[in-house]
């Protein structure tokens, strides 16, 4: 299937075979050196196919990091800078980030800051990174438990989306990434929300990925620095991020990002019903659908103080108030709602009561 390229701010998101698209891109450029950043898993599952196809044509070095969010930190980033230095990367070098959001976020941050910024290209290999981390220009690393604490807004030269990488991605990761797709439907496109109910997780329709990228792109190009409507993308994330951070610190098998966001979307739909016109039937529809996809996870009521502390710490807040995007209906949303601590906890209890 030939999917049209999506034009973002100064770069394109292209869809298709990664090797072909990469060769195509590099033929038009003249880089002094090329580096692939991979993690343990993309080194095994994604890099070999590309290496086979570009063998000999494109000399490059590989920088490999351990997989996992716990590695998206300054120590690993320093390691990447040092490797770039050791391999002789100069201002005319290119970093190709081949991996999930951890690799694309940290690789783009490393590139955006190395020698005051060198070019980088994104090849996202998880569903989440394809539909979300791929566009918008946010780069970053975590500091302790605070996600994306340090970063920049820097755009890649291009983004290559090859849905075939998803074939080796564990199903749990696919379903986690699907949460962002649900979010895209809920915030701006009811028809899309209805269509994605028929998704087949073992064989994701590339059209779904394309539509999600298009939605995210529309929003971020209208508001690149998150002054206004980009905040729509935070739907489900105010509460979801706090639950994710808490789970990372306390659970043996912590929630994945999308699993936490799914909970956040239910809680914030409850708030939407209470404060932003979301009708009861649509609230039920959202809850039923999300609960049919995601595992049952009860939020520990002992965590409530910590969750509120995480929410208050959220860098998206202004004037110490906890900021929400809420739904007016499925497919329409409004930014900048503020809810009290009691209301927020009530919404989490609402979610907990839905869990058997
Ligand atoms: N910049 C942005 O706008 C933005 C948006 C959303 C999320 N993010 C960031 O993205 C990160 C989460 O991304 P993620 O969910 O992709 O996590 P991830 O990068 O940790 O990838 C998840 C797991 O899948 C493995 N993997 C990746 N591709 C694979 C493949 N094709 N086959 C088999 N295994 C594969 C990885 O090694 C990892 O173990 C978070 O750090 C989040 O903050 C950034
Ligand atoms: Zn998210």
Instruction: Determine the pLDDT at residue 144.
Output: 84
The Å distance, Cα 231 to ligand 2 centre, comes to 12
Contact 133 CB / ligand 1 (< 6 Å): yes
Q: Answer whether residue 297 shows pLDDT above 90.
A: yes
Q: Which of 13-17, 143-147, 318-322 has the highest mean pLDDT?
A: 13-17
Question: Which residue CA neighbors atom 30 of ligand 1 most closely?
Answer: 169
pLDDT at site 313: 82
> Cα of 176 to ligand 1 centre, how many Å?
10
- Picking from 332, 94, 314, the residue whose alpha carbon sits closest to that of residue 232 is 332
pLDDT at 191 over 90: yes
Q: How far apart are CA 278 and CA 203, in angstroms?
A: 32
Closest C-alpha to ligand 1, atom 20:
68
Cα–Cα distance, 161 to 29 (Å, whole number):
19
Domain boundaries, the chain: 6-167, 171-354
| Dihedral pair phi/psi, residue 189, rounded to 5° | -150, 95
Domain 6-167: assigned CATH number: 3.40.50.1970
Q: Is 21 in the pocket of ligand 1 (CB under 6 A)?
A: no
**Look-up of token digits 């976020």:** 105
Q: Over pLDDT 90: what percentage of the chain?
A: 90
The pLDDT value recorded for residue 134 is: 87
pLDDT, tens digit (0-9, with 9 covering 90-100), for 112-122: 999 999 999 99
Residue 29 catalytic?
no
Instruction: Note if 257 is an active site residue.
Output: yes
pLDDT above 70: residue 1: no
Ligand 1 pocket member 168 (CB < 6 A): yes
Tell me, in angstroms, the distance from the centre of ligand 2 to residue 30's CA: 35
Which whole number is the average pLDDT over 133-158? 92
231 belongs to the catalytic site: no
Examine the pLDDT at 300 and tell me if it is beyond 90: yes
* Mean pLDDT value of segment 63-87: 97
Q: Is 237 a catalytic residue?
A: yes
Which of the listed residues 45, 101, 161, 264 should we mutate to test ligand 1's pocket, taking the one with most ligand atoms within 8 A of CB?
101
**Ligand 1 probe mutation, 46, 71, 97, 133, most atoms within 8 A of CB:** 133
Q: Is 230 in the pocket of ligand 1 (CB under 6 A)?
A: no
Contact 184, 212 (CB under 8 A): yes
Asked about 226 being catalytic, the answer comes back as: yes
Work out the average pLDDT over 171-191.
Answer: 98
| Closest ligand, as measured to the CA of 238 | 2
Candidates 147, 211, 257, 273; catalytic one: 257
234 a catalytic residue: yes
The pLDDT score that the predictor gives to residue 46 is: 98
In our burial notation (b when 16+ CB lie closer than 10 A, e otherwise), range 165-192 reads: bbeebeeebbbbbbbbbbbbbbbbbeeb
CATH node for 171-354 = 1.20.1090.10
* 101, pLDDT greater than 80: yes
**Nearest by Cα to 145 from 72, 79, 76, 231:** 72
Please write the tens of the pLDDT for every residue from 194-242: 999 999 999 999 999 999 999 999 999 999 888 899 999 999 999 999 9
Ligand with smallest separation from the Cα of 130: 1
Evaluate whether 284 touches 340 at the Cβ level (below 8 Å): no
Q: Is 346 annotated in the active site?
A: no
Q: Which of 67, 71, 97, 138 is catalytic?
A: 138
> Which protein residue has the closest C-alpha to ligand 1 atom 34?
169
Could you tell me how many residues make up the chain?
Answer: 356
Take atom 41 of ligand 1 and give the residue whose Cα is closest.
102
pLDDT the model gives residue 145: 72
**Residue 315: which pLDDT band, with cuts at 50, 70 and 90?**
low
Flag whether pLDDT at 311 surpasses 90.
Answer: yes
How confident is residue 2, by pLDDT bands cut at 50, 70 and 90? confident
Find out whether the beta carbon of 255 lies less than 6 Å from any atom of ligand 1. no
- How much is the pLDDT for 265? 98
pLDDT reading at 325 higher than 70? yes
Of 226, 259, 268, 282, which residue is the catalytic one? 226
Which residues have a Cβ under 8 Å from the Cβ of 24 and sit 6 or more positions away?
Answer: none
Give the SS3 label for residue 111: helix
């Amino acid at each position: 299937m030939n999917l049209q390229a999506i034009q973002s701010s100064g770069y394109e998101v292209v869809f298709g075979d990664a090797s072909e698209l990469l060769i195509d891109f590099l033929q038009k450029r003249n880089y002094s050196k090329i580096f692939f950043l991979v993690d343990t898993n993309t080194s095994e599952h994604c890099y070999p196919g590309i290496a086979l196809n570009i063998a000999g044509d494109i000399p490059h070095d590989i920088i490999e990091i351990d997989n996992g969010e716990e590695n998206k930190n300054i120590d690993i980033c320093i390691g990447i800078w040092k490797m770039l230095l050791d391999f002789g990367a100069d201002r005319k070098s290119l970093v190709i980030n081949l991996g999930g959001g951890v690799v694309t976020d940290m690789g783009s941050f490393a590139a955006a800051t190395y020698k005051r910024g060198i070019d980088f290209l994104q090849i996202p290999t998880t569903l989440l990174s394809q539909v979300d981390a791929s566009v918008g220009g946010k780069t970053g690393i975590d500091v302790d438990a605070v996600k994306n604490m340090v970063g920049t807004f820097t755009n890649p030269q291009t983004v290559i989306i090859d849905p075939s990488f998803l074939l080796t991605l564990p199903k749990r990761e696919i379903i986690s990434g699907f949460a962002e797709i649900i979010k895209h439907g809920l915030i701006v496109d009811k028809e899309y929300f209805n269509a994605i109910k028929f998704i087949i997780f073992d064989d994701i329709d590339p059209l779904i990925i394309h539509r999600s990228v298009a939605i995210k792109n529309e929003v971020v190009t209208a508001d690149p620095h998150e002054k206004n409507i980009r905040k729509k993308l935070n739907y489900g994330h105010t509460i979801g991020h706090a639950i994710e951070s808490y789970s990372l610190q306390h659970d043996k098998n912590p929630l994945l990002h999308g699993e936490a966001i799914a909970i956040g979307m239910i809680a914030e739909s409850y708030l939407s019903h209470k404060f932003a016109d979301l009708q009861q039937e649509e609230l039920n529809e959202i809850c039923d659908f999300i609960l049919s996809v995601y595992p049952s996870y009860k939020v520990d009521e002992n965590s409530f103080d910590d969750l509120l502390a995480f929410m208050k710490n959220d860098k998206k807040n202004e004037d110490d108030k906890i900021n929400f995007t809420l739904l007016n209906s499925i497919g329409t949303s409004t930014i900048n709602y503020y809810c009290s601590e009691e209301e927020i906890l009530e919404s989490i209890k609402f979610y907990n009561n839905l869990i058997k």
